[in-house]
Structure 1
Amino acid sequence: MPEKVLDLFDQMNIQPDQVVFNTVFSACARVANDRAKEIGRKVLNQMPKHFHNDNILLTSAINMLMKFGDVENAENFFQTMKKKDVIAYGAMMKGYVENKMYEKTLDLFEQLPFPLHNVGYTIIFNACAQLLNDRAKQIGKKLLNEMPKHFHNDNILLNSAIDMLMKFGDVENAENFFQMMKKKNIITYGAMMKGYVKNNMSDKALDLFEQMSLNPNNVIHIIVLNACAQLLNDRAKEIGRKLLDQIPKHFHNDNVLLTSAIDMLMKFGDVENAENLFQMIKKKDVIAYGAMMKGYVENKMYEKTLDLFEQLPFPLHNVGYTIIFNACAQLLNDRAKEIGRKLLNQMPKHFHNDNVLLNSAIDMLMKFGDVESGEKLFRTIKKKNIVTFGAMMNGYNINNQPFKCLQLLGEIKQQNFIIDEFSSNILINACARLSMLSKCQLVVDQIPSHLYKNQRILNSLIYMWGKAGSIENAQKIFQSIDNPDDFTYNSLIYIYGLNRMGLEAVDLYRKMPDHLRNEITYVCVLNACSHSGLLNEARSIFNEISQKSKQIIAAMIDCLSRLYIFDEAQKLIDDYEKSNPPCSVMYMAILSGARNSRQHILSQKIYDRMIMLFPNEKETLKSGSVLLGNTYLSIGDHEQAKNVRLNRIKALGTKIQPGVSWTEFNGEILEFKANDRRHPQSKEIHAKAKYISDVLMKHGHEYDASWITRPLGEDETIESVLCTHSERLAIAYHFLQEENPSFIQITKNLRVCGDCLIYVSIVLDRATKLIAKIWQCKIIVRDANCIHHFSPDGTCSCQDHF
């Protein structure tokens, strides 16, 4: 009862002796509150000088100061000791560990002029277990190997050794020490099981638990619950639930245990029982609330996360901020945006050094589409790590700014960060979005060589090269993989489809082992058939599939609709809806086909049905209205097109996403929007686009007004609008920079319009003969649907089937 010791000392009116000083120092060290700190320091200052030769007393003072966190004064007292003994060294080393100054612990250990006692071994093992660097591992293992045999009966010491080895990842030697121990106690079993969990070997933790003949204490219960939460198989669920039912009632006041149980149940997906357990906790703390909120996020119940947050009676800790930011980032509704921004603005300044928290805040802001605020927060972080860069780069990708993502690669290299699997995948994804071959090669050159053994990275590279139009590189990556998995096959099948190589996609599908085929495989190969007009192949594959999901049926409907076989497509929808809710994707496929075939009556009929079936799918209805309006434009019915547009704005409150095209010249990524005037050479670019258009018109090209999706302005013509489409400006830019460009690559965020496809084709054929008779050029244009490979002879890989 250290508080009573201090009370009694305050009442004492005689001069304290060494025993009293020692007792007071020990009491102050145990209490360590403001009152104890005041008494302890006052007594220390009043201690007579002749007591300064008493090692026991000074060691007690050092211990007290270390408990106060006053390391500097503890060091000063240690330096004043003339005859330091092993206990004084031990007090200092233990104090360093308590203050998380593990390097200083090892520094002092290496100066130690005495052999270590058992407590000293335990202290050093604990320091090494926390530090986990090469020096710590070397010292810890050497000390363990040289430890005298008579210490092998000291359970406390060996338990700390097992903990250290497990933290080193040296499970085998930890197991050897465990087997060597004759009298294992509950702490020994706990050290082993905790180590197994730490090393992702939770099945071994459960094996050991089931072999244990001792009654489990609360710590064992917590470890086993954590193991079950990590493992998540049927055995883990059975053991976890059984253990939870058998927990003694006196443990029901242990918040740490109950919080672990909540975490486990949430990971099982058993939200209801987790909620019941949470309600049972009498004195809920911020950690229990955190476990519940985290569990709701894991179970995608983000509204419940925010509900519980708004009931929270405590200030959030750093983990809590991270949880709420993650929930808001997933929810993305007005409530989530309001809560997320308000929380970020009110966040205490001392949390601004927590990278994990700030990384989640950046992720949230970027998912809100608030790139500017995300950038500002990123710039305020003084000690960025690779995860911080990853959050920012991923955010740029989400917001369709892959060129900005790649710009950060330079900063990563400057700060000598090692690119890991996560950041590599983000960079690869940026290249896939941007689809510029030179940028792809730049990123590939930065990926560490050891990651080329990582199949996830290789699968991503297949996807990246294919999206950039380099089938050869995608095939090389595929062929380098010894055991292709379903992702590997699916990636290349998808890429073949994207590049209008339907026959190659079908051939690979036929070579793919049956057991690897899944829903994604079927959708990819059917889409490949759809984009290449391979109806017979699509029907054959579709009929072979025993379990047809809505995605598979939608892919087949798309294939039929692209070939204008609407009756068969509608029959598939009717059959599907006999036992399933309607699916908007299926209707959108027919609507797209109706637009291409200019069937306005069918288009209107499908769109009206979509309004009735999917009134809450705003984005789908927006896209559908664009297709409907374009269908009316394709037959010259501008009045109906205008009505559709006005009704959409009125009913949906939406705006059409502007067309943006990217191209590269001399290593620089350039962005063009329709009628773009931002570029320093905009006048020259527009003039070049107009010149090419004039040449085309002289050689028989007629502009297709049906590809204009808005009313013409007073000073606009069909030609003036179409010749300033973003993809045309990008092509004109290349013609302006080089008289005879040999290769042009363009990426567009939307679908390339049919008139622009003809434009590119003619530019490569007739115009090239006029402008530069000796000029030969290849153009790759990737839009939202597929990749068009234009050859110098004026043909396109899509063969006009788009």
Structure 2
Amino acid sequence: MLRCLPKVPDFIIPFQSLALPTFHISSVSHCLHKHIELNSPCPTDLSDYIVLLQQCTNRKSLWDLRRTHLHMHKSGFPHLSLGNKLIQSYLKCGSIEDASNLFDEMPQRHIVTWNSMISAYVCHGLSGEAIGLFERMCLENVFADEFTFSIVFKAFSDMGLVHGGRKAHGLLVVLGVEVSDAFVGSGLVDMYAKFGRLRDARLVCDRVVEKDVVLLTALIVGCTQHGENGEALEVFRGMIVEGIKANDFTFSSILIACGVLGDRSGMQIHGLMVKFGYDYVVACRTSLVTMYSKCGSIDDSLKVFERCPGANLVTWTALITGLVQNGREESSLLMFKQMVGKSLSPNAFTLSSVLRACSVLAMYEQGQQIHCIVFKTGLHGERYVGAALIDMYGKCGSIGMARLVFDSLDKRGVVLINSMINSYAQSGYGEGAVELFDHMRKSGIEPNDATFLSVLSACSNAGLVEEGCRIFSSLQRNSKLDPSTDHYACVVDLLGRAGRLEEAENLIKQVEEPDVVLWRTLLSACRIHGKVEMARRVMTRVLELDQGNEGAHVLLSNIFASAGEWSEVSNMKIAMKDMKLKKSPGMSWIKVDREVHTFMAGDPSHPSATEINEELERLREKIESLGYVPDVRFVLQDLNEEEKKRSLYYHSEKIAIAFGLLSNKHNNTCIRIFKNLRVCGDCHNWIKYVSKVSEREIIARDAKRFHHFTDGMCSCGDHW
């Protein structure tokens, strides 16, 4: 048996004794009126075999094709005379191995056969084999044609072989194949674009005389993939001016570019898409949803989605992601529920987005439910889903669950490590963050900008001054990374909270162009340590950069209030009123029985206000017996001593905790509250005492971080 034929397994009945079915050629071609039996002792003519091969190909029957091939060989028919037809049939039946074996057996091969094999390798993801066959073709002095080059350029781009691709381009020039042809030009443009060599892609494109949609779309896609979205938009506009009609691939790509740029021309492109009849193509609608959401027009995204009755998973995911990106986290979770109700199984991108929504809203229970879906879909090992889970548990204050997820993942790259370090940072576990950071570097994993930012934030939150300075020094020595103003802000905060304000100010002066965030961070440190004169000087710097910075005005007003300089406080309030600046009111909220209850200081509007006040009074008596004394330094109003104490009793976080204890009298569940501003020093001390007398864990998430209160202690170590 020839090497090109497949080996027949031992359990197959020998060919001679096999009663093969009769093929009725008359059913295929009315011009042939005879039957061919594969077990016929006499060979048949060429036309009969051609029809048989066509029948096998039409039915995609590899088994019958192999039997036909075997019969040709058995009957003595020169089967290699039909080599091209056989190869084409094997390829169409999905057997690249049989086609390859037959190809090797052929003494002579037509250029069409070479092209078919190279194309088959590329289509089956075997680009390396395709390139090897192309090189063999050149060695055998077979001249490649336009089709050969268009295929092999794709193989080089798939493999990322820039040098090989450029050599193939050179050979194309040597052979005199005309680059001005759109067919070859499209392949070259696509290859150079995928390599990120957009200048070369554009030069090739400019040489093509009859430009078509495939060529220009290849250039547009390459531009968008390498962040040259403005260039992509220019190519698209030129394309429209030249009267070349865009297709669905063009629209899908250019709309994404508009979304990245936030360019409102996306609306005009939407109009063109409708005009050309592509508004019902799912890929185009998905790009529309993404474009509008990235441009901040989430309502337009919803309108597009509502007109898409057959939305697939990709479209649903685009909408859910857009809702999260535009601050519509609750809506994204509702959409996710609807999607699952339609029996669409979420992918990694969908799950990452809804977990991010749970993170922002600190929805612990919903996050746990989505975690279950992650396991059901088998995506618990996917790194971005894992990172989103760690982030969700971290932002919900469940650092233990975050670590469990982290430890369960096999491949812990920089994305996962960053999520875990950031979770430690938010909950005040600086030692854990530093330990993980050091272990990361010892393992050979290089930290990136986000890693340094998270670990420096962890050091700042935990008061780890020496560790923070050590890590910042290593960042400054890093040849691949440059410290950003965010990194400097973390260290300024770290030094400022430790009382090293002069060092913090000198560090700011090292920055070439310090921004308002750096000076505001130092101003906040002045507030902590009551440095009024330094605060005046720093405030001057802030106002030079941002005259109407609301946060800075509030900080300076609070500094004056803490120092008892009430005339200055009055002046600040007048100035803020003139500039129409308003201080954000402090509020706290707690979720009980799936309902969110929001409280403001001294707010009597809650239906359970009477019971809450009674609970606050009971708690006051208990904790004062243990030594709690109201810290009136945190009262920023000009009141007498008794009035100051009374005002502290009804801060929003205290009301929320009292309501949480009332609502969970009969169990020992954790009390979780949230505040839009930072927890004040008196409330922080008050919660420590309450955690002890109530024997409950209390988790408070403020604008900066989490505080875990247990048995009279806080995870921050009183440093926040």
TM-score by length of 2: 0.75
Trace 1:490-509 onto structure 2 (pairs within 5 A).
Answer: 490-509=418-437
Deviations along 1:657-707, one digit per CA (max 9) or x if unpaired, are 9988775433x3638597999xxx964266777777788899764677788
Trace 1:231-270 onto structure 2 (pairs within 5 A).
Answer: 231-235=159-163, 238-239=166-167, 242=170, 248=176, 250-252=178-180, 254-270=181-197
> Aligned partners of 2:591, 2:297: CA distance in 1, in Å?
26
**The one of 321, 328, 351 aligned to 2:258:** 328
**The one of 509, 525, 546 aligned to 1:593:** 525
Question: Residue 136 of structure 2 aligns with which residue?
Answer: 211
**Residue type at the aligned position of 1:229:** S
Say if 2:282 is the partner of 1:340.
no
Residues 85 and 404 of structure 1: is their aligned pair in 2 closer, same or farther, counting only changes over 3 Å?
Answer: same
**Does structure 1 conserve the Cα–Cα contact (< 8 Å) formed by 2:699 and 2:706?**
yes
**Residue type at the aligned position of 1:762:** W
Question: Residue 399 of structure 1 aligns with which residue?
Answer: 326
> Aligned partners of 1:190, 1:706: CA distance in 2, in Å?
82
Residues 759 and 269 of structure 1: is their aligned pair in 2 closer, same or farther, counting only changes over 3 Å?
Answer: same
Residues 346 and 780 of structure 1: is their aligned pair in 2 closer, same or farther, counting only changes over 3 Å?
Answer: farther
**The one of 613, 629, 641 aligned to 2:554:** 629
Trace 1:264-663 onto structure 2 (pairs within 5 A).
Answer: 264-311=191-238, 312-313=240-241, 314=243, 315-332=245-262, 336-337=263-264, 339-344=265-270, 347-348=273-274, 350-447=277-374, 448=376, 450-512=378-440, 513-519=442-448, 520-545=450-475, 546-547=477-478, 549-551=482-484, 553=488, 555-575=490-510, 577=512, 586-587=518-519, 589-597=521-529, 599=531, 602=534, 605-606=537-538, 609=541, 625-636=550-561, 637-638=568-569, 641-642=572-573, 645=576, 663=590
Deviations along 1:183-209, one digit per CA (max 9) or x if unpaired, are 444344434444444455444433333
**The one of 126, 144, 148 aligned to 2:69:** 148
Counterpart secondary structure, 1:780? strand
Residues 202 and 685 of structure 1: is their aligned pair in 2 closer, same or farther, counting only changes over 3 Å?
Answer: farther
TM-superposed CA distance for 1:533, in Å, is 0.4
Question: Residue 709 of structure 2 aligns with which residue?
Answer: 790
- Alignment RMSD (CA, Å): 4.3
Greater helix percent: which structure?
1
Counterpart secondary structure, 1:790? strand
Provide structure 2 residue ranges, at least 5 long, that are not aligned to the other structure.
Answer: 1-23, 33-48, 73-78, 562-567, 638-643
Deviations along 1:60-107, one digit per CA (max 9) or x if unpaired, are xxxxxxxxxxxxxxxxxxxxxx996313699xxxxxxxxxxxxxxxxx
**The one of 748, 762, 774 aligned to 2:686:** 762
**Does structure 2 conserve the Cα–Cα contact (< 8 Å) formed by 1:486 and 1:517?**
yes
**Does structure 1 conserve the Cα–Cα contact (< 8 Å) formed by 2:383 and 2:415?**
no
Deviations along 1:245-293, one digit per CA (max 9) or x if unpaired, are 65735341x2233233223333333333333333333333334443333
> Aligned partners of 1:174, 1:603: CA distance in 2, in Å?
80
- When the two structures are aligned, how many residues end up with a matched partner? 639
**Does structure 1 conserve the Cα–Cα contact (< 8 Å) formed by 2:456 and 2:490?**
yes
**Residue type at the aligned position of 1:331:** L
Comparing 151-160 with 404-413, which one deviates more in the overlay?
Answer: 151-160
> Aligned partners of 2:347, 2:31: CA distance in 1, in Å?
41
Question: Residue 699 of structure 2 aligns with which residue?
Answer: 780
> Aligned partners of 1:693, 1:345: CA distance in 2, in Å?
61
Counterpart secondary structure, 1:635? helix
**Does structure 1 conserve the Cα–Cα contact (< 8 Å) formed by 2:635 and 2:648?**
no
TM-superposed CA distance for 1:735, in Å, is 5.5
TM-superposed CA distance for 1:780, in Å, is 2.3
**Residue type at the aligned position of 2:483:** K
> Aligned partners of 1:241, 1:657: CA distance in 2, in Å?
63
Residues 287 and 238 of structure 1: is their aligned pair in 2 closer, same or farther, counting only changes over 3 Å?
Answer: closer
Say if 2:152 is the partner of 1:224.
yes
Question: Residue 93 of structure 1 aligns with which residue?
Answer: none
Residues 702 and 784 of structure 1: is their aligned pair in 2 closer, same or farther, counting only changes over 3 Å?
Answer: closer
**Does structure 1 conserve the Cα–Cα contact (< 8 Å) formed by 2:493 and 2:521?**
yes
Question: Residue 14 of structure 1 aligns with which residue?
Answer: none
Say if 2:607 is the partner of 1:684.
yes
Residues 304 and 235 of structure 1: is their aligned pair in 2 closer, same or farther, counting only changes over 3 Å?
Answer: closer
Counterpart secondary structure, 2:379? helix
**Does structure 1 conserve the Cα–Cα contact (< 8 Å) formed by 2:162 and 2:195?**
no
TM-superposed CA distance for 1:729, in Å, is 7.4
Residues 456 and 367 of structure 1: is their aligned pair in 2 closer, same or farther, counting only changes over 3 Å?
Answer: closer
Question: Residue 678 of structure 2 aligns with which residue?
Answer: 753
Residues 507 and 172 of structure 1: is their aligned pair in 2 closer, same or farther, counting only changes over 3 Å?
Answer: farther
Deviations along 1:630-681, one digit per CA (max 9) or x if unpaired, are 233332344564577578779xxxx999988775433x3638597999xxx9
Residues 288 and 764 of structure 1: is their aligned pair in 2 closer, same or farther, counting only changes over 3 Å?
Answer: same
> Aligned partners of 2:588, 2:90: CA distance in 1, in Å?
61
**Does structure 2 conserve the Cα–Cα contact (< 8 Å) formed by 1:689 and 1:728?**
no
> Aligned partners of 2:114, 2:595: CA distance in 1, in Å?
59
Residues 83 and 285 of structure 1: is their aligned pair in 2 closer, same or farther, counting only changes over 3 Å?
Answer: closer
**Residue type at the aligned position of 1:329:** G
TM-superposed CA distance for 1:412, in Å, is 2.7
**Residue type at the aligned position of 2:554:** G
> Aligned partners of 2:587, 2:100: CA distance in 1, in Å?
60
Deviations along 1:148-192, one digit per CA (max 9) or x if unpaired, are 233674324423533653xxxx77666556545554443444344
**Does structure 2 conserve the Cα–Cα contact (< 8 Å) formed by 1:598 and 1:634?**
yes
Question: Residue 121 of structure 1 aligns with which residue?
Answer: 56
Percent of aligned positions that are identical: 23
> Aligned partners of 2:186, 2:508: CA distance in 1, in Å?
48
> Aligned partners of 1:187, 1:656: CA distance in 2, in Å?
76
Residues 720 and 623 of structure 1: is their aligned pair in 2 closer, same or farther, counting only changes over 3 Å?
Answer: farther
> Aligned partners of 2:556, 2:107: CA distance in 1, in Å?
84
Deviations along 1:8-52, one digit per CA (max 9) or x if unpaired, are xxxxxxxxxxxxxxxxxxxxxxxxxxxxxxxxxxxxxxxxxxxxx
Question: Residue 110 of structure 1 aligns with which residue?
Answer: none
Comparing 211-220 with 637-646, which one deviates more in the overlay?
Answer: 637-646
> Aligned partners of 2:602, 2:328: CA distance in 1, in Å?
17
Counterpart secondary structure, 2:210? coil
> Aligned partners of 2:433, 2:650: CA distance in 1, in Å?
35
Question: Residue 40 of structure 2 aligns with which residue?
Answer: none
Counterpart secondary structure, 1:561? helix
Residues 456 and 706 of structure 1: is their aligned pair in 2 closer, same or farther, counting only changes over 3 Å?
Answer: same
**Does structure 1 conserve the Cα–Cα contact (< 8 Å) formed by 2:355 and 2:367?**
yes
Residues 115 and 491 of structure 1: is their aligned pair in 2 closer, same or farther, counting only changes over 3 Å?
Answer: same
TM-superposed CA distance for 1:443, in Å, is 0.7
> Aligned partners of 1:561, 1:671: CA distance in 2, in Å?
35
Say if 2:64 is the partner of 1:162.
no
**Does structure 2 conserve the Cα–Cα contact (< 8 Å) formed by 1:466 and 1:499?**
yes
> Aligned partners of 2:282, 2:719: CA distance in 1, in Å?
50
